[in-house]
Structure 1
Amino acid sequence: MRWIWLFALLASFQLSAQEWQLRDTCPPSFLLTEDNRCELKTLYQFYTSTQGKGLGGTQTELPPHRDGFTPQQIDLGRHLFFDPLLSGDQQLSCASCHLPEKGFSDGKALSDGANNLQTTRSSPTLWNSAFVTRFFWDARAQSLEEQAVGPLFAENEMDNTPERLLASLNQNSVYKQWFAQAFGESNGITLDQIASALTAFQTSLISLNSRYDQYVHGNHNALNENEIAGMNVYRSFVARCSECHMPPLFTNNQIAVIGTPEPEGMPLDVGAETTFNAPKLKGGFKVPTLRNIAKTAPYMHSGRFATLREAVEFYTLGRGHAVPEGVEMQIHWHIWEPNLTDEEIDRIVDFLHALTDETFTPAVPAVLPSGLTPINNQQTAAIKGENQ
């Protein structure tokens, strides 16, 4: 009997050794090069036209993007992203606020952080981060690496310290082995490597295969009559949605002052005014992508609107109608009074649902080197309950 128990124990060790392997293949939509790099490949790369972007043009090329990470770096970042070991109390992971099931947001107006605190803004989606040039709602980070480490050390987010984070990872034999494998160095894990691995994973989150994309690439049966009607309103000179939310990314990577109202009882968030020390940007925030927008309610920087229809309707209620009395804002010139009908608003909402694409949603790791649960059990249970 003792030998049977010992054999089972050895078998479990062998299984564990097999589990602790980083992938040597690229995520879907990426091609592995001869020098072990993952290069993004999409049908949009065959388009060279930049004309019509501001008018809602369809077959236009994508802007520059980041790729070229190794499969091992991407997979290491995937495990780190879901590992609560990165937080100070080991109760939160990056995925706590960026859940795959919620379009890599979290379904809350303000996210729950450490110390029973809340963040001050809604969690934005991470889809297509490889194409983004500035990060956070107020555009204060200029790289994915800078964005990746910010929440780790924020008191109201993951509340870790650089020293504690490095100690936790360097004391873990699997992570030490993985970092050495991913970065070719064995002198210990560094903060730059952590940021680079998280960046590698985020650049692999590609969503460019929605029914809208299939329509663009020639399948005109991919959208129904209402969605096509909505797309035409969206692209029109009346609604002017596409002038800021430009295809194919459905953002222009710029900052816009639109005068979104704050939730009841919350003070005015000046946004990018602080980042750039520019009064003209008071109340200015990044133009978010609309891809997978149907999955990321509530909407705006503070989750002010519960539904897509409320968010769309905001733009037709009058220029600057929600700006607090006595506050001066330089509302973006694209924001005007299109006086859309209820039917036109409904059709735009129909079209926005056609931008959903979760084809390449990465798998949540079954196990983590830390031994911790990949995603908070309460969040997972809540999501399952909502989807039943």
Structure 2
Amino acid sequence: MTIRFHLKKTFFACAVLLAAGATLPGSDGQARAAARVAPAAPGTDACAQGTGWNIACLRQVYAGPIANWPKPQVADGITPVEMAPVSSLPQPKVDPKVVALGQRLFADQRLSGSNAIACISCHSPAYSFADNKRFSIGDGGRAGVRNTPGLLGAGQMKSLFWDGRAATLEEQALGPLRHPDEMAMDIEALPAKLARLDDYMQQFDAAFGKEGGVTLPRILTALADYQRTLIPPETRFDTFLEGQRTALNDRELLGLHLYRTKARCMSCHSGVLLTDQQFHNLGLSLYGRKFFEDWGRYQATNADADVGKFRTPGLRGVSHSGPWMHHGLIPSLNEVLIMYNTGMPKPKPRTAAQKADPKFPISSDLLQPLKLTADELDAMKSFLEVL
């Protein structure tokens, strides 16, 4: 399936942009359809042609070592981490017995108050350990308020959740367990509950030693150590990075090149996991709106400058983890790419009250219109699908 900018998809992306208070690029500030982008300028790239891209040229450019590839085009002041295969990630230092216990706990619905919700209910291997819902459904059928983040590479993350409020996987595991809209478990009662079930007591003893039994810290350690093993699976992209330069087809190779250059993706999505692990404002907080308003990182820091900022997600397995963004409002990668191509929403204070509001969120300067053509966006999508 290619993104030839079917009208309903373009209109959806534009509607999301406008709902966020954005002005789409256009003369005199007037909104323009997101698909109306300029063609690639001839001469701006050694392999660019007036009618498209010379794939044979790109093959030659990317035939050598990664160090000799075109340098990433990024925003001023950004130093991206170079791409690397998943095999370069350090192996987690965990006890296999603790991991096995953690995997069992991760899939056990009895960790919830209703005995109906497990960690895996919202973090499915089929969806890059996210899910395919806009908001996950928790205890008592209550919906969450943010899209479920994927867990691939979670053991390498410096902070967890969209707003970064957890510094460790143990802290992260505790959050959903006791949240009333998620697993709604009385965490003080959880150890005794598990000790009465099946052979959990024996498995805890085998994993941690016979002294101590089932405790909350041990439950959190087991869950965290299991998540540390959730390293992204190797894909053809990793095979390509490891030296087999025929592993990507022509469309995927062009998408890789655009990702590194014209699309400026490595301003935020770099390294093995394709994330800078920073927090950025994409103009999607819907600040001041009746529905879906989310202050983002502010909820973890209480800093006015953090209103509307969210953690940069890694892109490993991204094509399987939709819908996308913190609010799950973007149903396809097509719309995601359209929105980035326009430069994302740029809400501006319009009233005296908004201008005086210290919390009014300002979109990141890293976001600029990209002027990618429809064919280039199609190649970008092909590349994202192989990650």
TM-score bracket relative to the smaller structure: 0.7 to 0.9
What is the SS of the residue equivalent to 1:316? helix
Match of 2:368 in 1: 336
Q: CA deviation at 1:340?
A: 1.8
Q: CA deviation at 1:103?
A: 1.5
* Percent pairwise identity: 33
Q: CA deviation at 1:308?
A: 0.7
Match of 1:93 in 2: 118
TM-aligned CA distance change 1:323 to 1:275, over 3 Å: farther
Q: CA deviation at 1:319?
A: 4.9
Q: Which amino acid aligns with 1:241?
A: C
Cα-Cα RMSD: 2.6
Match of 1:227 in 2: 252
- Aligned mates of 1:350, 1:217 — CA distance in 2: 20
What is the TM-score normalised by the length of structure 2? 0.74
Residue 295 (structure 1) aligned with residue 327 (structure 2): no
Q: CA deviation at 1:174?
A: 0.8
Match of 2:377 in 1: 345
Residue 250 (structure 1) aligned with residue 274 (structure 2): yes
Given the alignment, which residue of 199, 207, 212 partners 1:187? Answer: 212
Number of positions where the alignment pairs a residue of Structure 1 with one of Structure 2: 307
Given the alignment, which residue of 130, 133, 136 partners 1:111? Answer: 136
Residue 260 (structure 1) aligned with residue 281 (structure 2): no
Runs ≥4 residues deviating over 4 A = 51-56, 59-66, 261-265, 322-327
Q: Which amino acid aligns with 1:157?
A: E
- Aligned mates of 2:336, 2:299 — CA distance in 1: 25
Q: Which amino acid aligns with 1:312?
A: L
Q: CA deviation at 1:87?
A: 0.4
What whole-Å deviation, never above 9, does each CA across 1:246-288 have from its counterpart, x for those lacking one?
A: 0321111111111126599623201001211111111100000
TM-aligned CA distance change 1:178 to 1:333, over 3 Å: same
What is the SS of the residue equivalent to 2:189? helix
TM-aligned CA distance change 1:181 to 1:99, over 3 Å: same
Which has the bigger relative contact order, CA under 8 A and spacing at least 6? 2
- Unaligned ranges ≥5, structure 1: 1-46, 356-388
Q: CA deviation at 1:328?
A: 2.9
- Aligned mates of 2:225, 2:163 — CA distance in 1: 23
What is the TM-score normalised by the length of structure 1? 0.73
Match of 1:354 in 2: 386
What is the SS of the residue equivalent to 1:336? coil
TM-aligned CA distance change 1:304 to 1:103, over 3 Å: same
Contact 2:83 2:274 survives alignment (8 Å): no
What whole-Å deviation, never above 9, does each CA across 1:209-244 have from its counterpart, x for those lacking one?
A: 1111110000111100000001111111x3111110
- Aligned mates of 1:282, 1:63 — CA distance in 2: 35
TM-aligned CA distance change 1:261 to 1:206, over 3 Å: same
Given the alignment, which residue of 240, 253, 258 partners 2:264? Answer: 240
Match of 1:276 in 2: 301
TM-aligned CA distance change 1:216 to 1:307, over 3 Å: same
Q: Which amino acid aligns with 2:195?
A: N
Contact 2:347 2:363 survives alignment (8 Å): no
